[in-house]
Amino acid sequence: MKQILRLIKKDYILFWGDKLVVSLTFIIPIILIAIWGAIFGNIDSGVAGLYLAFVNNSSSPVTSKIERVLDTTKAFILIKKYTDEKGNRVLFDTNTVKDFVRKGKSSAALVIPADAYTDTSLGIKLRFYYDPKNGMEMQMIQGMLQRTIMSQIPGIFMQSLQRQAMRTLGVDSGKAFNSEIALTVSKYYKIDPKLVLGSYPIDSNLPPEAEKNRNIFGNILQLEQIQLVGADISNPWATRSVGGWAIMFLMFTLTASSSSLFEEKKSGVVLRILVSPISRVHILWSKYLYNISLGFIQLTVLFVAGSLMYRIDIFSNFVNLLLVILAAASACTAFGMLLSAFSKTAAQANGWGTFLILAMSSIGGAWFPTSFMPGYIQTISKFTIVYWSMDGFLQVLWRQAGIESILPTLGILFGVAIVISSISVLQFKKGEVF
Amino acid sequence: MIQIKGVTKKFPEVTALDNITLKVQERQFFGLLGPNGAGKTTLINLIVGYLNPDQGEILIGSEKVTRDSLETRKLIGLVPQSLALYDDISAETNLEIFGSFFGIEKKLLRERIDALLNSVQLYDRRKHRVKSFSGGMKRRLNLIASLLHDPPLLLCDEPTVGIDPQSRNAIFDYLLMLNAQGKTIVYTTHYMEEAERLCNRIAIIDTGKIIADGSVEELLGELSFEECISISKNQTTTSKIDLLKKFGKVLEEQDHYELTPAGEFRLSSFFGLLEQNGISDKFIYIHKPSLETLFLHKTGRRLRD
């Protein structure tokens, strides 16, 4: 055991002696976690700040209301003016706003035409011009636009229905029909019949008792949202992000560390060590234990950094977190050693390592939740160390899971470590490293 | 000190050592001379227990060497052919790491490190990273890293590769001093000058076989002639070189021909033939045979071919 400890001490001295490796192990992942967290930090509080070029050619109070709503919602930033050739700020018209999109200065423009909503309209006409260069952004803009308009001025829908009834049945019968409908809706949904009939102007301020019933559709579909898990987590996306980046960098670190055996062999150091009273078994054990301990330290440091940057609560379930970290470090060490055992050079091990780590990180849920992925990829992801490590981290950090809940995950990670390590040791005996 | 008994080592594509038998006595400075690929490093790797032989056995003292036996390793110091050092840490830390593997008590190790660094003039650079060292300094550090546990047997596998003559001489003097202090040294090289200068016994190895073994005098005594002849290369000698082939083996070098006499060679006959053919004796240089001559005589090739 003393010889193994001496070898581990040697590896730590070498690790600390190479400041680039130290920074790649700790500082670079922390920077990336910070960047990733900053990018996605507000994803849970909704979409905000989508740029939308905007022209309102209508004088209708309804379209004024739409403009006011879009102006005040945080989802959009409306661009209403452009700078002409003389440097003057000029309001858009339909042609200039289309040019603006064509030139790529905005991804989309909303034009409200002059006849958008008249006394006889059955609905609102809007024109949406867009550049499909970014499909995801376009879907977000369209979705948010529809949602904002429908949620803020639902009365338009009621007016439209009543106008349709009068147009079909005639004015008198239509009024009677609408009145009957309004009374029925009023009776069962307990709202003011005037609201159903649209007697309040769409853009007016309603009395408080009517305001709460303004969105009739909201009353029809009463979807109550109650968060059961992670309600007290201040930065849920960062919680996932820290775990994902940490496990990916852990694998890079341990693959590089394992492949250092090749460098030591090439320089003759392995031979020098083996001429001392140290056996190959000592070297292998020391590499395993060193890598596991380094991985444990790295993950712990990254989680502590995540906790400081994003207020992730790692301490209320700290012991279980450490258990998952140990299991993940063991499995990742086994992966790194497997690569070294089956490779003939350090370059081979690192090349395969990069490919496999990026593949496992992407499909294992290190970057995005696996639920975003197609079913067959979700199935494949379960065969990766990243998936089970992420599962463990999320269990202890999101669900505050106890030891009995995380035992299956720990079992899988330690089991993977044992199986892969056994294969590696057999391969090391007949391989190129020693 | 070392007994090598009928050792054979085969690799998939080559038989590196073929039934080698050798003895190295205590306090001997033993040279293993041979061209690249002759099997010198393989033999060293077997002596230290890095490889197991396919046949035969090696004893150090009375202990049999195997890949798994750790006891014999305490008796051996190995100076590998490559610079087996960690570049990114200091010379001193390198020595502390390698010394720790022998379980040397801390204070004693400290004393030995200081003494060894002083002995090769590296003490002032002990805190510097190895990567800042010159080739000669690295070679000296590579050498003393093998002496931390004060082994009675030192194996040097071409320890002066790629360094300047001054550093090489410093290492030679250091090794001769160690040998004078009682260490047994096995020294592999493909430079016959090094072997002749350092070793009191030499084995010549080629294609995995020992082709000669003894002191320099004993080895040269195996030759049937007492002088070798160099002939300057010019128009006259080149046109008539075939005439000289009846006196022995003629090898063409870059600027001269080397005649290794054979059979009943007489200098008077040789010069008589030169005179008859108008070859001036100013183109002829007669010198004593060397180990190079012996190697050429035994294999038909030069040591550095």
Considering the domain architecture, whether residues A272 and A382 belong to the same structural domain is answered as yes
Specify whether the CB–CB gap between B153 and B183 falls below 8 A: yes
pLDDT of residue A227: 57
List pLDDT tens digits, range B41-79: 999 999 998 888 999 999 998 889 888 788 888 899 999
Whether the pLDDT of residue A259 is over 70: the answer is yes
* Helix/strand/coil for B217: helix
Domain boundary among the residues A171, A200, A227 is at A227
User: Please, what is the end-to-end C-alpha distance for chain B in angstroms?
Assistant: 32
Please name the member of B70, B77, B89 whose beta carbon is closest to the beta carbon of A13.
Answer: B89
Judged by CB atoms closer than 8 Å, whether chains meet at B78 and A275 is answered as: yes
Domain boundary among the residues A227, A253, A269 is at A227
* Residues of chain B contacting residue A280, judged by C-beta atoms under 8 Å apart: 67
Specify whether the CB–CB gap between A339 and A258 falls below 8 A: yes
pLDDT of residue A431: 61
* Residues of chain B contacting residue A3, judged by C-beta atoms under 8 Å apart: 101
pLDDT of residue B22: 92
Q: Which residues pair with B116 in a beta bridge?
A: none
Cα distance between residue A392 and residue A413, in whole Å: 9
* Mean pLDDT along residues A171-179: 79
More confident residue, A326 or A49: A326
Q: Which residues of A make CB contacts under 8 Å with B? A: 2-3, 6-7, 9-10, 13-14, 17-18, 266-269, 271-280
Considering the domain architecture, whether residues A284 and A147 belong to the same structural domain is answered as no
List CB contacts of A92: < 8 A, sequence separation 6 or more. Answer: A53, A54, A55, A79, A80, A81, A82, A100, A109
State the maximum Cα–Cα separation within chain B, in Å, rounded to a whole number. 77
Which helix (H) or strand (E) covers residue A91, if one does? strand A89-91
DSSP E strand boundaries for B34-178? 55-60, 63-64, 76-79, 153-157
Residue A343 counted as domain residue: yes
Q: What is the pTM of this model?
A: 0.71
Residue A287 counted as domain residue: yes
**Torsion-angle region of residue A93: left (phi > 0), alpha (psi -120 to 50) or beta?**
beta
Residue A10 counted as domain residue: no
Cα distance between residue A338 and residue A417, in whole Å: 10
Considering the domain architecture, whether residues A130 and A251 belong to the same structural domain is answered as no
Considering the domain architecture, whether residues A283 and A413 belong to the same structural domain is answered as yes
Give the pLDDT band (50/70/90) at residue A47. Answer: low
pLDDT of residue A430: 74
Judged by CB atoms closer than 8 Å, whether chains meet at A272 and B78 is answered as: yes
Cα distance between residue A427 and residue B51, in whole Å: 18
Specify whether the CB–CB gap between B84 and B142 falls below 8 A: yes
Where is mean pLDDT largest: A8-17, A215-224, B120-129? B120-129
Residue A90 counted as domain residue: yes
**Torsion-angle region of residue A268: left (phi > 0), alpha (psi -120 to 50) or beta?**
left
Considering the domain architecture, whether residues A99 and A246 belong to the same structural domain is answered as no
Residue A198 counted as domain residue: no
CA within 13 Å, CB half, A371: 1
* Helix/strand/coil for B130: helix
Q: Residue A411 corresponds to which amino acid? A: G
* Mean pLDDT along residues A331-354: 86
Report ipTM for this prediction. Answer: 0.82
Q: Total domain count for chain A?
A: 2
pLDDT of residue A123: 75
Q: How far is CA B189 from CA A293, B168, B293, in A?
A: 43, 13, 16
Report which of A270, A243, A268, A263 is spatially closest to residue A324, judged by C-alpha positions: A243
Whether the pLDDT of residue A155 is over 80: the answer is no
> What's the CATH code of the domain at A136?
3.40.1710.10
DSSP E strand boundaries for A277-373? none
Report which of B246, B267, B43, B67 is spatially closest to residue B156, judged by C-alpha positions: B43
DSSP E strand boundaries for chain B? 2-11, 14-24, 29-33, 55-60, 63-64, 76-79, 153-157, 184-189, 201-206, 209-214, 228-232, 248-252, 256-261, 284-287
Residue A403 counted as domain residue: yes
Considering the domain architecture, whether residues A289 and A414 belong to the same structural domain is answered as yes
Specify whether the CB–CB gap between A433 and A405 falls below 8 A: no
Considering the domain architecture, whether residues A149 and A245 belong to the same structural domain is answered as no
Tokens for A136, please give them: 């995801």
Nearest residue of A to residue B96, measured between CA atoms = A10
Considering the domain architecture, whether residues A93 and A240 belong to the same structural domain is answered as no
Q: Which residues of B make CB contacts under 8 Å with A? A: 45, 48-50, 67-68, 70-71, 73-74, 76-78, 80-86, 88-89, 93, 97-98, 100-103, 145-146, 149
> Over chain A, what is the mean pLDDT?
81
Residues A408, A414, A420, A425, CA torsion sign: negative
Report which of A186, A127, A195 is spatially closest to residue A159, judged by C-alpha positions: A195
Judged by CB atoms closer than 8 Å, whether chains meet at B103 and A2 is answered as: yes
- Determine the distance in angstroms separating the CA of B201 from the nearest CA of chain A, rounded to an integer: 25
Give the pLDDT band (50/70/90) at residue A206. Answer: low
* Residues of chain A contacting residue B98, judged by C-beta atoms under 8 Å apart: 272-273, 276
Considering the domain architecture, whether residues A308 and A421 belong to the same structural domain is answered as yes
Judged by CB atoms closer than 8 Å, whether chains meet at A274 and B50 is answered as: yes
- Residue range of the domain that includes A133: 44-155+223-227
Cα distance between residue B46 and residue B33, in whole Å: 17
Considering the domain architecture, whether residues A242 and A127 belong to the same structural domain is answered as no
* Mean pLDDT along residues A161-188: 78
Considering the domain architecture, whether residues A148 and A256 belong to the same structural domain is answered as no
Whether the pLDDT of residue A147 is over 80: the answer is no
pLDDT of residue B156: 93
Residue A166 counted as domain residue: no
Cα distance between residue B73 and residue B83, in whole Å: 20
Tokens for A31, please give them: 């920077």
* Residues of chain A contacting residue B48, judged by C-beta atoms under 8 Å apart: 271, 274-275
Residue A211 counted as domain residue: no
List pLDDT tens digits, range A80-109: 999 988 888 999 999 999 999 888 888 889
Please name the member of B70, B71, B83 whose beta carbon is closest to the beta carbon of A268.
Answer: B83
Domain boundary among the residues A186, A203, A227 is at A227
Judged by CB atoms closer than 8 Å, whether chains meet at B73 and A3 is answered as: no
Give the pLDDT band (50/70/90) at residue A79. Answer: very high
* Residues of chain B contacting residue A267, judged by C-beta atoms under 8 Å apart: 82-85
